[in-house]
């Protein structure tokens, strides 16, 4: 290759995932699939009470069982010196004291790990774990948010907000005042959470785990055990779904590290499905009182949102449940308050489309109710109250194509064919309903780094510690690099999800492409600049990379750069937007609900890969159907434990539940957030979606359901 010829304009192409072959052929290694010489297995023993203290652990039979290497509990667990500094609480959405594994005799929640058996085989460990008997002293527990509203507290990091007048909607011409509830939802990714760990001496730790943040894991375990960060190596190249459940360190990871230290061998710990319900977070229950008022012709005059969320007693999880209300509509008077109910449960965490998912259900349901009260089309009401700027922080949008989302979605869906009267449309014996909603989610960029190396054979390698939990980030980064360098994307490969590689932020919050993508883009330009300096040419020219390497006898040339956001967040409000249109059919007698059509239109800036982006929206819509119609973690409050902590009774959508999903992207670059024009995509399609389903159900049946999930019994 004597000069570079741009064979593919890679950005925007629907390229296949570069790791797809490994995944479908079984070559991809997940956290539980790493095997080492003398590997041992850890099995957690969990509490059978919800609150109280351990009185006695009877473990002699387990210790004498075949193949058992050790039994760990608070009585003999290796010391974790960094626990005192509480490193996990540095994450802004958590406050308080993290759960500290095997440190005392207190029981904070049901299924809390209280002991661990380490054995030569998984079967030996499981059998020995069944032999352990534990005596407890029970105390009264509380797990019901409804019974404990009087115990509500203001979060350590308050989310209350006021713009304009207090109770401005009180005297509005038309007012809606309702209560909305969302259920407890569990991540349930296909891959159960797992970690494999081993030590080299006392100062080098190796962890293969299911995580969305290898650098965060590295930093936390370095703090926990007072190690140099470079002496903690973390790898997570393949993650079989996470959705926020791997956004922080959980007990099984610490268990694997403790066990490896105890027995001086590699140890693997894999959670059982029932343990995934309690030990890796979940979307907490929410209760919201939503008031919205308008003039007779549909101008919104005031919004008031009061939200209550559940959290653990030892730690606060602070949801972004109020965020959509603060920015979505052109309303001068907005008042939000957010309270937490501490309960005897494990700490919740973000679930895909975090607090905005719950908050937007209330907001977009209330907008629909207001439209009916005004005798106004729900789309027209949204168009009339479109906000030209973000009134929350008084900044112009970095870009906002929500109006295009509305119009394109309405056209593709056939919204104009909708008879506005509830229970007025049918398909045979089935009642037909059409509903819609809007969504808004943050679009931001955070610091990231990346390294790029070009070799004398024309191959290019990207290195980044970014995790790829499924959206196709590794593929997208090669496309960005290809266009920045002006070479064929087929020449580029990437190594990712290793803490030894340049820093990338955790993969959550819809900022991976904007952040790590910008770092890859910057590294590619820096590499191009290096070639130009060698050849005394201009970096914008088409450079003969391989000729330059050959001329100077170089086997390779590399660049590592750090990419940081500027002051754009002080000048502009970065958000992604969506409009969802949903059709349902409801049986008039059995009240069975089927989602029959979905049109989802997304404004997420420049789309880097249309195939992976399309898949992201399919996933969001599938998740949204589950939240709206099925998903519900049911707790028997007498015992404080789930009664459906398995995939047979915790219902999630299957193929038969999913209709044709028509996805459209506005695909216009954002000129301010990042140099590649992308905005957040991972969460946006889910924001507001559940309300579109609820609004369609109301249109079909004339019955307004304000508590998720919408099940037949509620309609009956």
Give residue-wise pLDDT tens across range 130-162: 999 999 999 999 999 999 999 999 999 887 999
pLDDT of residue 164: 97
The percent of residues in the chain predicted with pLDDT above 70, rounded, is: 98
Instruction: Please tell me if the domain spanning 20-28+445-564 has the same topology as the one spanning 34-140+190-241+246-279.
Output: no
Q: What would the two tokens of residue 38 be?
A: 């003398």
pLDDT band at 172 (very low <50, low <70, confident <90, very high): very high
For the ranges 83-97, 257-271, 688-702, the lowest mean pLDDT is seen at: 83-97
Query: Given a cut of 90, is residue 512 above it in pLDDT?
Result: yes
Distances in whole angstroms, Cα of residue 141 to Cα of each of 81, 144, 163, 345, 525: 30, 9, 39, 9, 58
What's the pLDDT at 16? 96
Q: Confidence class of residue 7 from pLDDT cuts 50, 70 and 90?
A: very low
Q: Per-residue pLDDT for 17 more than 70?
A: yes
pLDDT number for residue 676:
96
pLDDT at 4: 41
Q: Mean pLDDT across the stretch 580-589?
A: 98
d(CA 431, CA 192): 39
Instruction: Give tens-digit pLDDT for 472-505.
Output: 999 999 999 999 999 999 999 999 999 999 999 9
> Residue 240: its pLDDT value, please?
92
Helix/strand/coil percentages in the chain, nearest 5? 30, 25, 40
pLDDT above 90 covers a percentage of the chain that reads 92
Q: Which is catalytic among the residues 253, 369, 631, 683?
A: 683
Residue among 376, 352, 345 nearest 141 (CA): 345
pLDDT higher than threshold 70 for residue 90? no
d(CA 229, CA 219): 6
Q: At what angle do helices 214-224 and 251-263 cross, to 10 degrees?
A: 50
CA distance 591 to 568: 50
Mean pLDDT of 315-320: 94
Separation between Cα atoms, residue 588 and residue 566, nearest integer Å: 56
Question: Is 3.90.1170.50 the CATH number for 34-140+190-241+246-279?
Answer: yes
HEC profile of 417-446: HCCCCCCCEEECCEEEEEEEEEEEEECCCC
Average confidence score pLDDT of the chain:
95
375 burial class (0-12, 13-18, 19+ CB within 10 angstroms)? exposed
**Does the active-site annotation cover 683?**
yes
Q: Which fold has domain 286-444+570-715?
A: Aldehyde Oxidoreductase; domain 4 (3.30.365)
Instruction: Quickly count: other Cβ atoms within 10 Å of residue 140's Cβ.
Output: 8
**Is 80 exceeded by the pLDDT of residue 88?**
no
- For the segment 283-291, the average pLDDT, to the nearest whole number, is 97
Tell me: the pLDDT tens digits for 406-445? Answer: 999 999 999 999 999 999 999 999 999 999 999 999 999 9
Lowest mean pLDDT among 156-160, 272-276, 315-319, 466-470: 156-160
pLDDT at 8: 56
HEC readout, 348-369: CCCCCCHHHHHHHHHHHHHHHH
Helices (H), 287-388: 323-327, 354-374, 378-384
Select from 447, 446, 445, 475 the least CA-distant residue to 462: 475
Find the mean pLDDT for residues 306-316: 96
pLDDT confidence of residue 235? 97
Whether 87 shows a pLDDT value over 80: the answer reads no
361-383: average pLDDT: 98
Tell me: the pLDDT tens digits for 609-662? 999 999 999 999 999 999 999 999 999 999 999 999 999 999 999 999 999 999
Instruction: Work out the pLDDT band at 2, boundaries 50, 70, 90.
Output: very low
pLDDT of residue 86: 64
Average pLDDT on 262-274 reads 96
Q: Which CATH code of 3.40.50.300, 3.30.365.10, 3.40.50.1100, 3.10.20.30 fits the domain covering 20-28+445-564?
A: 3.30.365.10
- Which residues, other chains included, contact 26 with Cβ-Cβ below 8 Å and sequence gap of 6+? none
CB 540, CB 501: distance < 8 Å: no
- Report the first-to-last Cα separation within the chain, whole angstroms: 71
pLDDT digits (tens, 9 = 90+) for 592-606: 999 999 999 999 999
User: For the chain, which residues make up each domain, given as ranges?
Assistant: 20-28+445-564, 34-140+190-241+246-279, 286-444+570-715
- Sign of the torsion angle spanned by Cα atoms 144, 146, 147, 148: positive
Give the residue carrying structure tokens 């100062």: 203
Q: What is the pLDDT of residues 536-554, one digit of tens each?
A: 888 888 889 999 999 999 9
Q: Is the pLDDT of residue 44 over 80?
A: yes
């Amino acid at each position: 290759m004597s000069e570079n010829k741009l064979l593919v304009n890679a950005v925007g192409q629907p390229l296949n995932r570069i790791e797809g072959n490994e995944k479908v052929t079984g070559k991809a290694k997940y956290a539980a699939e790493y095997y080492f010489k003398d590997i041992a297995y850890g099995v957690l023993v969990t509490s059978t009470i919800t609150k109280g203290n351990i009185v006695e652990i009877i473990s002699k039979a387990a210790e004498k069982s075949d193949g058992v290497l050790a039994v760990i509990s608070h009585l003999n667990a290796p010391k974790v010196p960094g626990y005192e500094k509480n490193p996990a609480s540095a994450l802004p959405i958590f406050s308080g004291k993290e759960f500290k594994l095997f440190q005392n005799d207190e029981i904070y929640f049901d299924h809390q790990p209280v002991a661990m058996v380490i054995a030569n085989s998984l079967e030996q460990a499981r059998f020995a774990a069944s032999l352990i008997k534990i005596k407890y002293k029970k105390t009264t527990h509380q797990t019901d948010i409804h019974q404990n509203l009087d115990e509500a507290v203001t979060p350590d990091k308050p989310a209350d907000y006021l713009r304009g007048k207090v109770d401005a909607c009180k005297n509005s011409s038309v007012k809606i005042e309702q209560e909305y509830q969302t259920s407890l939802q569990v991540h349930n990714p296909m891959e159960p959470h797992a970690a494999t760990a081993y030590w080299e001496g006392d100062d080098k730790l190796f962890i293969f785990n299911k995580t969305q943040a290898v650098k965060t894991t590295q930093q936390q375990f370095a703090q926990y055990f007072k190690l140099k960060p470079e002496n903690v190596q973390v790898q997570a190249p393949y993650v079989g779904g996470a959705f926020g459940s791997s956004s922080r360190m959980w007990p099984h990871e610490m268990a694997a590290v403790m066990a490896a230290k105890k027995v001086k061998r590699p140890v693997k710990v894999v959670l059982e499905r029932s343990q995934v319900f309690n030990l890796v977070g979940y979307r907490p229950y929410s209760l919201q009182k939503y008031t919205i008022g308008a003039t007779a012709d549909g101008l919104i005059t005031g919004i008031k949102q009061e939200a209550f969320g559940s959290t653990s007693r030892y730690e606060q999880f602070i949801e972004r449940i109020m965020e959509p209300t603060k920015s979505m509509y052109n309303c001068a008077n907005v008042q939000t308050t957010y309270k937490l109910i501490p309960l005897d449960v494990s700490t919740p965490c973000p679930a895909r489309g975090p607090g905005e998912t719950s908050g937007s259900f209330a907001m977009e349901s209330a907008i629909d109710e207001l439209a009916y009260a005004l005798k106004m089309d729900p789309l027209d009401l949204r168009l009339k109250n479109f906000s030209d700027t973000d009134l929350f922080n008084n900044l112009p949008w970095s870009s906002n194509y929500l109006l295009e989302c509305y119009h394109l979605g309405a056209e593709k869906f056939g919204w104009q064919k909708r008879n506005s009267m509830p229970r007025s449309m049918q398909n045979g014996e089935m009642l037909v309903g059409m509903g819609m909603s809007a969504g808004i989610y943050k679009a931001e960029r955070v610091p990231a780094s990346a390294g790029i190396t070009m070799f004398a054979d024309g191959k290019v390698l990207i290195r980044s510690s970014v995790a790829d939990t499924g959206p196709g980030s590794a593929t997208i980064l090669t496309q960005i690099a290809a266009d920045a360098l002006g070479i064929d994307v087929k020449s580029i490969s990437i190594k990712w999800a290793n803490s030894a590689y340049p820093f990338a932020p955790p993969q959550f919050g819809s900022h991976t492409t904007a952040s790590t993508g910008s770092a890859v883009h910057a590294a590619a330009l820096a590499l191009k600049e290096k070639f130009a300096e060698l050849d005394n040419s201009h970096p914008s020219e088409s450079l003969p990379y391989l000729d330059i390497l050959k001329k100077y006898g170089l086997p390779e040339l590399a660049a590592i750069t750090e990419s940081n956001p500027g002051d754009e967040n002080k000048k502009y409000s970065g958000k992604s937007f969506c409009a969802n249109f949903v059709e349902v059919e409801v049986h008039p007698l059995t009240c069975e609900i089927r989602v029959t059509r979905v049109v989802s239109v997304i404004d997420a800036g420049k789309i880097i890969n249309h195939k992976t982006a399309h898949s992201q929206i399919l996933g969001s819509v599938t998740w949204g159907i589950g939240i709206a119609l099925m998903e519900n973690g049911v707790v028997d409050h007498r015992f404080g434990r789930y009664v459906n902590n398995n995939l047979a009774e915790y219902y999630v959508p299957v193929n038969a539940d999913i209709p044709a999903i028509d996805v459209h992207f506005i695909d216009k670059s954002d000129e301010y957030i990042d140099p590649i024009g992308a905005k957040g995509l991972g969460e946006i399609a889910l924001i507001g979606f559940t309300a579109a389903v609820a609004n369609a159900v109301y249109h079909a049946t004339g019955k307004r359901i304000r508590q998720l999930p919408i099940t037949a019994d509620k309609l009956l």
